[in-house]
Structure 1
Amino acid sequence: MNFSMTRRRSLIAMAMGGTLGAVGLPATVFGATPVKGGIISVATIGEPPTLDPMMSTADLVGILTQHIFETLYTFDAKWNVTPLLAESLPQLSADGKTCDIALRKGVTFHDGSAMSSADVVASLKRWTSVASRGKQAAGVIADIEATGADGIRITLKQPYAPLTALLAMNNSAAVIMPARKLAATLTEFIGTGPYQLKARVPDQYIQLVRFAAYKSRAGEPDGYGGARKQYLDEIRFVPMTNANTRLESAIAGQYDYVDSLAVESLSKLKGSKSEAVILKPFGWPRLVLNTKKGLMADQKVRQAAQLALSEEDMLYAAFGDKNFYAVDADLYPKGFPWATDLGGAVYNKGDATGAKKLLDAANPKDRTIRLLTSQQYEFHYKMALVANEYFKAAGFKVDMQVVDWATLVQRRANPDLWDIFITHSPFLPEPALIDFPSKDSPGWWDTPRRDKALNAFNEARTQDERLKLWAEVQKAVFDEVPFIKVGDFNALSARSPKLQGLTPAPWPYFWNTWKA
């Protein structure tokens, strides 16, 4: 039986703490003439758990470290893979199993040493052993070797379409570091990026300064690709865990950029000392289920949890205004080539009676869901409050654990500590970049059906084939429930009018920006 309207309204009101009317989106005006010099401060959602971009899929880690480290490839403004430290796109053999990559010459690390093919090979081998995306690729990589001072070859066991996109990603990232500095745990953070690490004072700031010997690509900026121009002298990233504090600092103009504001903050930014930065569509929040241990290791229990939820109510609680969210089961929205129409059978049901029947059939000894969330992303927390009520109506007990984001990232790596955690991701240009294809990613989805669907998808040689096979991957997700998509949403941040040249992006970057 579904919740009554009165019950639904009360629990949503509890999560929202009020309602939000429709509002307009302000235009942003950029300056025309770049100015060199100056310092900017960026308020982030918290302290990063690491500055080693191979070791984390957290967006916060990617946002910071993309200024320090670089990958062989990145994404242009249209989300096409484009060269960064590579000279050009890979040369593939006719059978799709040999990938030759030419490297840019004259690239220098922050310690003054020149980047060589030996550094690239060593870095990629570390990536395949420690990074979740690297481990995902490792299963199809037979060898990584130098073909000279300025080239490498990746030999594959089978064709693997997502390889260049995986090499382009900025978290769990295949960054290139000096071979002699590599270690299981990094003690020095030395890359080739436009800014280098000068100081890290935990819980206070991370200070990056311009790398004088940086070698940018030629041409004009193009998304994350193209030229990376170093107008700023210094960038300071300041952790600010409380969402209301971030909002107040944006209103007062205390920071040049404030990341991750609640969407209901938009009206409060009008007339303030900061301007809204809106990314539409941004991405999708999801509940990740622990398929390895505990309550959610049972597929029937996961299906019960999925059936219990009203994702529409969770979205309304989190965002309030339909200008900022869309009720959408499928993993990509309309407008993306990966968009489908497959999720309606299991999505947005709020069916407490049906969920309880599934739960009773599974008959677990303990029906307590350890639900892990953080208030640093306030919309996560609001969704958790609503999910809590729907789970309880279906016969679950809920132990809601509210922690800071760094703690959540650490805790989710241990399958003994949680059953469900809430996270989100921007819409990525390649489905293989979503963390669920990796068996090493928290959630640890590993079944024969998963393997069959994903292997076929990744080995397909044409885009038409891949589009058809992506539907089979999604069907496996809806049936086996390694995670539950909540919907689509837009993102809100704020910037000072003095910060010029900023391009709204899912992982904001500050090369190419300047301070008027």
Structure 2
Amino acid sequence: MKFIGRALLTGLVALGISPVAAQTPGGVINVATVGEPPTMDPMVSTADLVGIVTQHFYETLFTFDKDWKVTPLLAATMPEITEGGKVYTIKLRRDVTFHDGSPMTADDVVASLKRWMDLASRGKQTASNIDKVEVVDPATVRITLKAPYAPLLALLAFNNSAAVIMPAKKMENPLKEPVGTGPYMLKDRKADQYIQLVRYDGYKPREGAPDGYGGARKPLLDEIRFVPVPDPNTRIEGAISGQFDYVDALPVEAYDRLKGQKATQPVVLKPFGWPVFVMNTKQGVMANVDTRMAARLSLSMEDMLAAAFGSTDFYSLDAAMYPQGYVWHTNAGTEGKYNVADAEKAKALLKKANYDGSPVRILTSRQYEFHYKMAQVAAEYLKQAGFKVDMQVVDWATLTQRRADPAVWDIYITHSPFLPEPALIGQLSESSPGWWSTPARKQAVDAFNAESDPQKRVELWANVQKVMYDETPSIKIGDFNALAAQAPKVEGVVPAPWPYFWNVSIKK
């Protein structure tokens, strides 16, 4: 994943930020986000916004370093792996306390992992591979797998549908009191106004230097306020006026306006990720594979990307799930299935599928303006192919709730950063909204997940991508770069897909 590492380093230098410079503790920052998180329970949601906020007060056993390698966080070290890759023995840090003052023990970890396997889409994905999770002693847990499962550590490290550690006595569903181990703790939440985090004075960072999401996490700020600002123009004006110290997910056309401003400056993450149309394979119009392929063949990815991002400085056509520069890059399965925009081919497939004219319910949000713009273009191409389209524009929190119900949508629009481990891609989980579950998926994904040899996994990933194109559980639109804004007075922010604000301070 050195490609992302270079991109993040470039952003760091461009901002003139030195992560090793002396920083002054104290102060408050206001962070504008695209909206209100649907929950403060990171296990039960795959929304990036939930992970961005909750990663400050909940932590996982492992996380990712600056090169996107798994590194310990609440675990003391990387696990001891024995019995041919089936047994993971994990030593825990002994200096960790929860925000209620109680020490973290193996009992809390085991209870948390069991809750994760019961409730989280990625936990459910993992649970079928796990034989047992048990306490060895107060500072050691053991995970025994049914068979080797290569993505385990990446799944335990991911902050999305996250395997966070909670006190065993405070893990109701739904959560009544979010209590974590992180450098900040939740003090107050006023719906549609702000989420207030304050420094946890009992926090003990890991030793050593900051290292991506890993290493030392120092709570230098007194307070972080996440402010939901659904309207993108309001976020832009708030950045320029100095109302917000960091603004996430800005429309890329704002770049020229942000340049040269005194109160803010643009932050570009290049490459960031990929927009995706997720198909409801469980029921409704898109449960038929021919209908899904008809949708794919009808679309012009080029027109959607141009409408969403304007300049090719911010997007590129790319059928591969990972762009060049990533070890996972392959064009397997993509030939003749990307950026086709052939209405006649799509109509032929719709006839084969006996499409009855039922509306295709497209679920999207204007909080990510590029989602909405792509949806508008897609709707016209789908209509030309013979689909009837029902565009449903809702706020992001509502979208994340509705997508959990297969009865109310056919396509929803989202995006993802390029993830360090392909098994983290949501559509590969049978329990993720979309619910892709076929024999071909199982054969390809299971083989990929069971292989531990890195080179063989690269070859097996090509098979997974081919099945994704053959069965179309989702449609990748292309690659895009992301834009944020940051006040010059804020130092220590490292550009990252899920921005974090430990090790961040305000210049005095």
Please report the TM-score for the alignment, with normalisation by the length of structure 1: 0.94
> Secondary structure of 1:399's match?
strand
Tell me which residue corresponds to 1:106: 95
Q: Does 1:492 align with 2:479?
A: no
Q: Given that residues 72 and 85 in structure 1 are in contact (C-alpha distance below 8 angstroms), is that contact kept between their aligned partners in structure 2?
A: yes
Alignment of 1:301-316 (within 5 A): 301-316=291-306
| Cα displacement string for residues 250-287 of structure 1 (whole angstroms, at most 9, x for unaligned residues) | 11111100110001100010232211111111000000
Distance 1:106 1:271, change over 3 A: same
**2:180 paired with 1:191:** yes
Measured in 2, the distance between the counterparts of 1:390 and 1:195 equals 47
The residue that corresponds to 1:15 in the other structure is none
Measured in 1, the distance between the counterparts of 2:413 and 2:301 equals 13
| Secondary structure in structure 2 of the residue aligned to 1:199 | strand
Alignment partners' CA distance in 1, 2:16 and 2:259: 15
Instruction: Give the aligned partner of residue 179 of structure 1.
Output: 168
Give the corresponding residue for 2:344.
353
The reply on whether 1:38 has 2:34 as its aligned counterpart is no
Q: Which residue of 2 aligns with 1:16?
A: none
Paired residue for 2:64? 75
Q: Does 1:214 align with 2:179?
A: no
Mapping for residues 333-412 of structure 1, pairs under 5 Å:
333-342=323-332, 343-412=334-403
Match of 2:115 in 1: 126
Is 1:513 aligned to residue 500 of structure 2?
no
- Paired with 2:13 and 2:71, the residues of 1 have a C-alpha distance of 32
Q: What is aligned with 1:61?
A: 50
Q: Distance in 1 between matches of 2:207 and 2:22?
A: 19
Q: Deviations over 1:8-55 (max 9, x none)?
A: xxxxxxxxxxxxxxxxx9932236431110000000000000000001
Amino acid corresponding to residue 250 of structure 1 in structure 2:
A
1:426 and 2:413 matched:
no
**Residue pair 1:26, 1:276 contacting (<8 A) in 2 also:** no
User: What secondary structure does 2:482 align onto?
Assistant: strand
Larger mean Cα displacement after TM superposition, 290-299 or 343-352: 343-352
Using the TM superposition, give the Cα deviation of residue 367 of structure 1 relative to its aligned residue in structure 2, in angstroms. 3.5
Q: Secondary structure at the match of 1:337?
A: coil
Matched to 1:465, the amino acid is K
Comparing 415-424 with 244-253, greater Cα deviation is found at: 244-253
SS for the counterpart of 1:53 is coil
Which amino acid in the other structure matches residue 305 of structure 1? Answer: A
Describe the SS at the equivalent of 1:244: helix
Deviation string for 1:214-248 (max 9, x for gaps)? 01100000000000011100000000000111111
Q: Work out whether 1:244 is the aligned partner of 2:233.
A: yes
- Counterparts of 1:451-490 in structure 2, within 5 Å, are 451-490=442-481
Measured after TM superposition, the shift of residue 309 of structure 1 is 0.4
| 1:323 partner letter | D
CA offset at residue 438 of structure 1?
1.0
2:42 aligned counterpart, secondary structure: coil
Q: 1-side partners of 2:93 and 2:456: how far apart?
A: 33
The answer to whether the Cα contact below 8 Å between 1:295 and 1:366 also exists between their aligned partners in 2 is no
Q: Distance in 2 between matches of 1:26 and 1:350?
A: 41
State the distance in 2 between where 1:254 and 1:317 align.
Answer: 29
Q: Amino acid of the residue matched to residue 485 of structure 1?
A: K
2:77 aligns with 88
Q: Secondary structure at the residue paired with 1:456?
A: helix
Task: Write the deviation string for residues 47-83 of structure 1: whole angstroms up to 9, x where unpaired.
Answer: 0000000010100000000000000000000000000
Matches within 5 A, 1:18-37: 27-30=14-17, 32-37=21-26
Q: Give the secondary structure class of the aligned counterpart of 1:62.
A: helix
Q: Equivalents in 2 of 1:344, 1:241: separation in Å? A: 38
Q: Which of 436, 444, 447 is equivalent to 1:445?
A: 436
Indicate yes or no: 2:264 matched with 1:277. Answer: no
What is the deviation of 1:302?
Answer: 0.4
Provide the secondary structure at the position in 2 that maps to 1:278: strand
Q: What is the count of residue pairs matched by the alignment?
A: 493
Q: Deviation at 1:465? A: 1.1
Letter in 1 for 2:429: S
Secondary structure (helix, strand or coil) at the match of 2:426 reads coil
Amino acid paired to 2:290: K
Counterparts of 2:452 and 2:189 in 1: how far apart (Å)? 45
Equivalent residue number for residue 286 of structure 1: 276
CA distance in 2, matches of 1:476, 1:305: 17
Shift of 1:504: 0.1
What's the RMSD between the two structures over aligned residues? 1.2
* Partner deviation per Cα, 1:384-441 (whole Å, 9 max, x = no partner): 0110110000000110000000000000000000000100000010001111121110
Offset from partner CA, 1:306-360 (integer Å, 9 cap, x none): 1000111111111111111110011100111100022132000000111011111
Separation in 2 of the partners of 1:106 and 1:270? 44
Q: Could you tell me how far apart the structure 1 residues matched to 2:101 and 2:331 are?
A: 52
CA distance in 2, matches of 1:368, 1:308: 16
Identity in percent? 61
- Measured in 1, the distance between the counterparts of 2:288 and 2:124 equals 25
Paired residue secondary structure (1:112): coil
Q: Which residue of 2 aligns with 1:323?
A: 313
1:147 corresponding residue in structure 2 = 136
Matched, 1:52 2:12: no
1:227 is aligned to 216
Q: Distance in 2 between matches of 1:81 and 1:182?
A: 26
Partner of 1:416: 407
- 1:108 Cα deviation from its structure 2 partner: 0.2
Give 5+ residue unaligned stretches, structure 2. Answer: 1-11
Aligned twin of 2:6: none
In 2: Cα distance, 1:393 partner to 1:417 partner: 24
Secondary structure of 1:392's match? Answer: helix
CA distance in 1, matches of 2:85, 2:241: 55
Matched residues in 2 for 1:427 and 1:27: separation?
Answer: 21
**1 CA distance for matches of 2:157 and 2:287?**
32
Structure 2 partner of 1:17: none
Displacement of 1:182 after TM fit? Answer: 1.2
